[in-house]
């Protein structure tokens, strides 16, 4: 395509801008500010979204969360952790900067209340906080936005058709070349560190495989991995299996102490 050939240098420069600004996983935002914002957002969620009245569920999540965050304390000292069970059927959990963690009732029920399986998920979410992934994703967004500004500036003398083509090519390139792979890398990091946290906390890491097998069986509309921010469930399970020899050693050591 003549347009792509003539404007390749501009687009190539923008791709380099994305990776230099954010693709390497640099956290450029203020952790303290993000923690304050998360605290406000989490409080709003607790006000608007249904919080579970199941006391046993909340006690279990608090218990698991404390054991795991006691292990993670070396990586995120002074974090004000808070765990809340939301009365939602979707099997999901999330973590926000500053240690705010939400767990849906649907996830607890999918795990049939198995604390080892739930610990695998909570360990994963705590690892996201420890790795500052929210900060890095927001920083990456700044890099992508900066690239868009540079593109508009560079193309200001081009025709409206060429500018539209450039924006489309940039959007696809940024998403498939940087944003999605970066998100999948973060998920892999959280899987790995989460296994370590849960194993050191005395939870059987093999339960992570059981849980993700359940999640895989629930998947209906499977999209290609290159279009997903999360690893394919099958590949995720393969990776978890590959880490078992190491984390089982941590688990067995924890059980002896």
Residues with catalytic function: 125
Region of 80 please: left (phi>0), alpha (psi -120 to 50) or beta. Answer: beta
Structure tokens at 249: 């050693």
Torsion angle, alpha carbons of 208, 70, 133, 184, to 10: -10
Asked whether the beta carbons of 84 and 105 are under 8 A apart, the reply is: no
Burial class from Cβ neighbours inside 10 Å (0-12, 13-18, 19+) for residue 200 reads: buried
Joined together, the tokens standing for residue 71 give: 């292990």
| Strand 93-96 versus strand 100-104 pairing type | antiparallel
**Both structure tokens of 19:** 């990776």
Tell me how far apart the alpha carbons of residues 69 and 118 are, in angstroms, rounded to a whole number: 14
CB 135 within 8 A of CB 129: no
Please report the DSSP string for 224-249 in residue order.
Answer: PGGG-SS--HHHHHHHHHHHHHHHHH
């Amino acid at each position: 395509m003549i347009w792509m050939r003539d404007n390749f240098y501009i687009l190539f420069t923008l791709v380099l801008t994305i990776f230099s600004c954010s693709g390497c996983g640099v956290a450029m935002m203020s952790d303290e500010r993000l923690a304050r914002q998360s605290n406000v957002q989490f409080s709003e969620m607790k006000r608007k979204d249904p919080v579970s009245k199941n006391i046993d569920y909340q006690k279990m999540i608090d218990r698991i969360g404390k054991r795991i965050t006691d292990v993670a304390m070396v990586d995120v000292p002074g974090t004000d952790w808070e765990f809340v069970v939301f009365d939602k059927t979707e099997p999901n959990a999330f973590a926000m900067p500053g240690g705010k963690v939400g767990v849906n009732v649907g996830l607890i029920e999918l795990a049939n209340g198995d604390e080892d399986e739930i610990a695998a998920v909570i360990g994963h979410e705590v690892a996201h906080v420890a790795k500052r992934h929210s900060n890095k994703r927001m920083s990456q967004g700044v890099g992508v936005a900066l690239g868009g500004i540079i593109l508009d500036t560079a193309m200001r003398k081009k025709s409206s058709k060429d500018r539209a083509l450039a924006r489309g090519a940039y959007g696809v390139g940024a998403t498939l070349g940087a944003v999605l792979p970066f998100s999948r890398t973060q998920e892999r990091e959280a899987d790995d560190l989460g296994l370590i946290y849960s194993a050191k906390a005395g939870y059987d890491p093999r339960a992570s495989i059981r849980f993700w097998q359940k999640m895989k069986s629930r998947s209906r509309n499977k999209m290609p991995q290159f279009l997903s921010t999360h690893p394919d469930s099958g590949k995720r399970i393969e990776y978890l299996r590959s880490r078992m020899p190491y984390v089982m050693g941590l688990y067995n050591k924890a059980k002896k102490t």
